[in-house]
Amino acid sequence: MAEREFLDKDARQRTTAAIRAVEATTSMELVVAARGRASHHLGTSAALGLVFALGTFAIMWWSPTPYDVATMPLDALVGFALGAALSATVPVVRRALTPRAVLRAAAERAARRAFETLGVEKTRERIGCLVYVALFERTAVFIPDVGLSRELVEVGFREARSALDDAVKRLDFAAFLAALAALGPPAASAVPRRPDDENELCDDVA
């Protein structure tokens, strides 16, 4: 599946419906944020540029064809530009060259920023929960607020959290919706919906 299947209008509407279905059974406020990428990963582009620059210099230095030494730095700079441009414009190359730990860390940093920006911590009982989807990084980050118990987060949500991350890694939108729905039963058991509950956070995909 393509990344756009998580971001188009139909996908956003179906995600909103899944959020509302979960919140119909629990006081927990569920927020989903979907992004094409969490970071530009400029370090990866710079690293590939450096490899191209060094390769260009090595080819000229060891080649039997004579090159003007005075122009070698400029040629190496052109090599750097080509390598950096390749990484910047071809996402599959940039993703393949970026270590998985770096991708994950970028998604987690962006998720923490989104948690604050979207006001997930502003519910009265601090029981908001963010699912942050970083598509380039193929990562789903799950951030619960402090009002949700450790047992619920680490035990009740364990399988659903793993399923969310796996679904995004595979770009499987149907599996992603199923994993969102799986948050409902444990949340309903730990923090059941009350008659006077108000919808404190927006259900639309951020």
Q: DSSP for 159-180?
A: HHHHHHHHHHHTT-HHHHHHHH
If asked whether residues 107 and 18 sit together in one domain, one would say yes
With a cut of 70, say whether residue 69 has pLDDT above it. no
Q: Considering the domain boundaries, does residue 197 fall inside one?
A: no
Q: What percent of the chain has pLDDT over 70?
A: 98
Distance, first Cα to last Cα, the chain: 21
Note the Cα 91 to chain centre separation in Å. Answer: 14
In terms of pLDDT, which residue wins out, 3 or 149? Answer: 149
Burial of 47 (0-12, 13-18, 19+ CB in 10 A): middle
**pLDDT, tens digit, for every residue of 8-25?**
999 999 999 999 999 999
If asked whether residues 33 and 133 sit together in one domain, one would say yes
- The percent of the chain in helix, strand and coil, each rounded to the nearest 5, is 60, 10, 30
If asked whether residues 111 and 16 sit together in one domain, one would say yes
If asked whether residues 149 and 75 sit together in one domain, one would say no
Looking from the CA of 202 toward its CB, the CA atoms found within 13 Å total: 10
Domain boundaries, position 129: 4-38+100-190
**pLDDT, tens digit, for every residue of 140-188?**
999 999 999 999 999 999 999 999 999 999 999 999 999 999 999 999 9
Cα dihedral value 134, 33, 167, 191, nearest 10: 140
If asked whether residues 33 and 65 sit together in one domain, one would say no
